[in-house]
Every structure is written in structure tokens, then in C-alpha cells.
Amino acid sequence: MRLTGGDPIGQEIYQEALIDLAAHWRRLRFWGSLTNSDATGRYLRGRLAKRTAAWRDDQIYEVEVRALRTPERQLVRVGCPAASIAFHKAALIEGTTRAGLLTLADAAVAWCHASRRSEQHRVARLIIGSILLISAMIQSMTWLAASGA
């Protein structure tokens, strides 16, 4: 996604959307494997759309948002058997373009934030579950004591 015009801080949208995706990664991958669909891509596109809409509303000037996708690999069909071995291998070798370091750094930070949030949620669930269990035990003991007397 490329943002043009407006505040340059708008690039934080990428990181926030990746954090959202990382927080739901396991569930989305599981759902995608069940339905044979790209659940993670659909979720990421939705989160980017919502984040850019909120960001666009905060801007003073008109902001244009365009989503650019990386082109998918296309296999080259070799028609004649006399073609060189290098030409045959070229269709199988991945391209030499590399993802930008800024993109990789944003993704790493997003995964860090998501793992921390996941750990905090796990601890919160453990604490709430323990409180509920102790409350249920106290309630049942008082009920048994009252009915036995």
C-alpha cells in the first residue's frame, strides 16, 4: 500500500495493520486451512482499509490511497526441446528482488507487539479463570455448609 499526500506519519498504518494480523494469525491460518481460502490476506486488506479510512479522516488535505500488490511469479513455458538448460532453470529460480529492510523491520516489530499482547491476554485469562474457580469453590462450600446444618 502506498500513501501519497498528507502526514508522513501515516506509514504507521502498516505496522498497526500487521500487529492486528499477527494477533489473529493462528485463528486466521486455521480458518483458511478449513475453507481453502486466503483468510489472512482478506483480514489484512480489511484492516488496512479500516486503518486508512480512520487515518484519512484525520488528515487536513485530500489523501490518495492506492494498494499495490507484488506480482505473482509466472512460470515461463519452454516450447522447444532445443532450448538451453539455463532457460529451463530460469523458470524455476525465484527472482532476485528482495523485500525492503524497512518492511521487514516493521513486520518484526508488529510480531513483537502481537506476541506481547498475546502473553498479556494469556495471563489475564489465567487470572480471571483462577478468580472464577476460587469463587465457585467458595460458593459451593457455603452452599454445602448451609444445606448440611
**Residue range 53-102, pLDDT digits in tens:** 887 777 766 666 665 555 565 555 555 555 566 655 665 666 666 556 77
Nearest to 19 by CA among 100, 123, 82, 109: 109
In angstroms, the CA 143 to CA 149 distance is 10
Each domain of the chain, given as residue ranges in start order, spans: 2-148
Please state, as a whole number, how many other Cβ atoms lie within 10 Å of the Cβ of residue 26: 10
Q: Give yes or no for a contact between 33 and 44, defined as CB atoms under 8 angstroms apart.
A: no
pLDDT of residue 107: 75
CA-CA distance, 117 to 71, in Å (whole number)? 33
**Alpha-carbon Rg for the chain in angstroms:** 25
